[in-house]
Amino acid sequence: MKRLVILLSSLLLPFLVNASDLKETPGLQFQNQVIEHVADVSETDFKGVFEFTNTSKETIEILEVRPTCGCTIAKLDKKIYKPGESGVIKTTFTYGSREGKQTKIIVVSTDAKANNRIKLTMKIDIPKIFKMTPSVLIWKTETESINETKTVLLESLTSDPIIIESIKPNNDNFSYTYEEIEAGKSYKITVTPRSGLVVEGIIRSTFEVQTDFKNRAKGRLKFYALAR
């Protein structure tokens, strides 16, 4: 019997210790610690609101609200919250040139006795508008001919058709032509080093492709050609 008690106690102890972690601990309780959002192609930022309540029996001071990305700003109306008082943390995530699935974390530190470091998460899916493959063309003259042509495939990933309005290289080191592969959907740009080009060191060009996409800045793409 004694052995059985010891065995059961040993078995249950780790679970009991960890069960305390699973209970709702007093402190700032957020309605939602994770916000998910799928961005529209026209969006440039996302504004999130994290609502919370002080569920402890003591006044809590928020010591710090720290985003882990310079692209995210977090604002708080005030720092001290009495028991039962509610508040909000407002966040703004500026997309910049970001694409795809983004996870932005804000760490909230308080002087509460428990649950005093809280992680808030924004999961944002930013649609990719174009696919350019590759975006860097490299001629390795030690292994390949400088007269070889290389191609860039530009594809629209949205349902709207796109048209290439212009392609502008920043110098005449390379020449180019382009053709439509699928109307409004994909283009092939062929690039060739200028005839008689002598490669000493590295020769490079930057090509700027302007499409008719409604957002002019997002519709402007770049690719690079480099021979060495």
Does position 35 interact with other proteins (CB under 8 A)? The reply is no
CA distance 189 to 175: 10
SS3 content of the chain, % helix, strand, coil (to 5): 10, 50, 40
Which of 131, 184 has the CB closer to other proteins? 131
Query: Which one of residues 1, 3, 40, 78 is an interface residue with other proteins (CB under 8 A)?
Result: 3
Q: Is 56 in the site for other proteins (CB under 8 A)?
A: no
Q: Count residues contacting other proteins (CB under 8 A)?
A: 38
* Residue 97 sits in the site that holds other proteins (CB under 8 A): yes
Cα 131 vs. chain centroid, distance in angstroms? 16
CB 98 within 8 A of CB 123: no
Long-range Cβ contact pairs of 139-142 (< 8 A, separation 24 or more): 139/193, 139/199, 139/225, 139/226, 139/227, 139/228, 140/228, 141/199, 141/227, 141/228
Total Cβ atoms within 10 A of residue 169: 16
Does 135 interact with other proteins (rule: CB under 8 A)?
yes
Indicate whether 15 belongs to the interface with other proteins (CB under 8 A): yes
Q: Is 7 in the site for other proteins (CB under 8 A)?
A: yes
The single residue among 18, 42, 145, 166 that binds other proteins, judged by CB under 8 A, is: 18
- Contacts with other proteins, residue ranges (CB under 8 A): 3, 6-7, 10-15, 18, 21-22, 68-71, 94, 96-98, 100, 102-105, 107, 119, 134-136, 202, 204, 206, 220, 222, 224, 226, 228
